[in-house]
Amino acid sequence: MSVTNLPGGSTSASTGVPPTKVTMPALAEMKRQGKTIAALTAYDYPTSRLADEAGIDLILVGDSLAMVVLGQENTLAITVDEMLHHTRAVRRAVRRAMVVADMPFGSYHGTISEGVANAIRFVKEAGAEAVKIEGPRIELVRALSEAEIPVVGHLGLTPQSLHRMGGYRVQARSAEAALQLKADAHALALAGAGALVLEGVPREAAAAITADLPIPTIGIGAGPDCDGQILVFHDLVNLTFAPAAKFVRRYADAGALIRTAIEHYREDVERRAFPSDEESYHLPEAARQALEASLAVIENASALRKA
Ligand code: KIV
């Protein structure tokens, strides 16, 4: 058991007043005002709470969860129920940031009504404030918007298209492909998407899209000209056990920190340095004396029996 201050989430340190919630219209306003959107993935209560308290605007419960938390080879096998489970944990932790749930592979690739029904589950059962879908699925985005579900689009390197792309490759590497990406981005915005993740595309393509798109772009491996940036939490703190991609900046080495802490714990246990007397519970003095007296009686009786 670990005692956690459960009803948490961030409040203003000075006033104790809950901060203003980040919503899709608030992200649009940030773009209008030229304020950069800071986004991050998270998949559990403590990480989400820390991200929220650190002022992250948008927390994505990404299907990258399959790889960085569940150790799977790619994102394709994760299910709606698994994503719901983690989205609930994130939602419990977050007060200010907008919580976006990634729709997993297969949950929106059939009929439009199946896609809408699955998206409704994320809002209704897990408290998601928007869903993210990969690819230029214009009809689905329109249907989700009509169903009052805010949508974040995702274009460029879309990991759920791994097999079609033939690997995780930078996309839109020609002028023609960049123009197609721009057209797709505008079609998504017109269909009702409220924001757009651009992943693994050349800086120039992302800049050209961002310049006249009416909704904010949030880049990952798309250069510095997007309206916001997102990273996978485990990349940011070096918990991935793999070399970092070119676009990743490691802000901490949590892998080394945690490994060292666990090694110290193991060593202390092995040499009986943990727990100490101060880390132990004690009987009240009277009970301790009574226990000692009883043990002495038992020991004497046992000695007499042996004699
Ligand atoms: O699943 C994920 O983490 C994502 C981000 C890379 C945008 O889709």
Span from the CA of 232 to the centroid of ligand 1 (angstroms): 7
Which ligand 1 atom minimizes the distance to the CA of 197? 7
CB of 219 within 6 A of ligand 1: the answer is: no
Same domain, 144 and 285: no
The last residue of one of the domains, among 183, 217, 236, is 236
As a whole number, mean pLDDT of residues 117-145 equals 98
CA 117 from centre of chain = 23
Instruction: Judge whether 292 counts as a catalytic residue.
Output: no
Single pTM value for the model: 0.92
pLDDT band at residue 50 using 50, 70 and 90 as cut-offs: very high
Same domain, 207 and 273: no
Same domain, 31 and 166: yes
Same domain, 50 and 193: yes
pLDDT of residue 133: 98
184 within a domain of the structure (yes/no): yes
Instruction: Give the domain range for residue 31.
Output: 24-236
CB of 102 within 6 A of ligand 1: the answer is: yes
- In the predicted structure, residue 14 carries a pLDDT above the cut 80: no
220 within a domain of the structure (yes/no): yes
Same domain, 274 and 137: no
8 within a domain of the structure (yes/no): no
Same domain, 212 and 284: no
- In the predicted structure, residue 7 carries a pLDDT above the cut 50: no
pLDDT of residue 2: 59
CB of 101 within 6 A of ligand 1: the answer is: no
Residue 25's alpha-carbon distances to 29, 30, 68, 194, in angstroms, are 6, 9, 31, 8
258 within a domain of the structure (yes/no): no
- Domains in the chain, number: 2
Which ligand 1 atom minimizes the distance to the CA of 75? 1
Q: By alpha-carbon position, which residue is closest to atom 5 of ligand 1? A: 62
Distance CA 23, CA 129 (A): 8
Which of 37, 41, 108 for a ligand 1 pocket mutation test, highest count of atoms within 8 Å of Cβ? Answer: 41
The last residue of one of the domains, among 217, 236, 255, is 236
Same domain, 89 and 224: yes
123 within a domain of the structure (yes/no): yes
Question: Look-up: residue for tokens 């693994």?
Answer: 200
Closest CA to 187 of 205, 149, 150, 213: 213
Q: By alpha-carbon position, which residue is closest to atom 2 of ligand 1? A: 62
As a whole number, mean pLDDT of residues 14-29 equals 87
- In the predicted structure, residue 64 carries a pLDDT above the cut 70: yes
| DSSP secondary structure code for residue 70 in this structure | T
- In the predicted structure, residue 218 carries a pLDDT above the cut 80: yes
As a whole number, mean pLDDT of residues 259-271 equals 98
pLDDT band at residue 9 using 50, 70 and 90 as cut-offs: very low
7 within a domain of the structure (yes/no): no
As a whole number, mean pLDDT of residues 45-65 equals 98
| pLDDT, tens only, 146-192 | 999 999 999 999 999 999 999 999 999 999 999 999 999 999 999 99
> CATH no. for residue 219?
3.20.20.60
221 within a domain of the structure (yes/no): yes
Amino acid at 237: V
- Name the average pLDDT for the chain: 95
- In the predicted structure, residue 6 carries a pLDDT above the cut 60: no
Same domain, 185 and 138: yes
Percent of the chain with pLDDT over 70: 95
9 within a domain of the structure (yes/no): no
Same domain, 221 and 128: yes
Q: Which residues pair with 133 in a beta bridge?
A: 153
Distance CA 52, CA 56 (A): 5
Contact between 182 and 209 (Cβ < 8 Å): yes
Same domain, 218 and 77: yes
For residue 243, whether the previous peptide bond is cis, meaning omega lies within 30 degrees of 0, is no
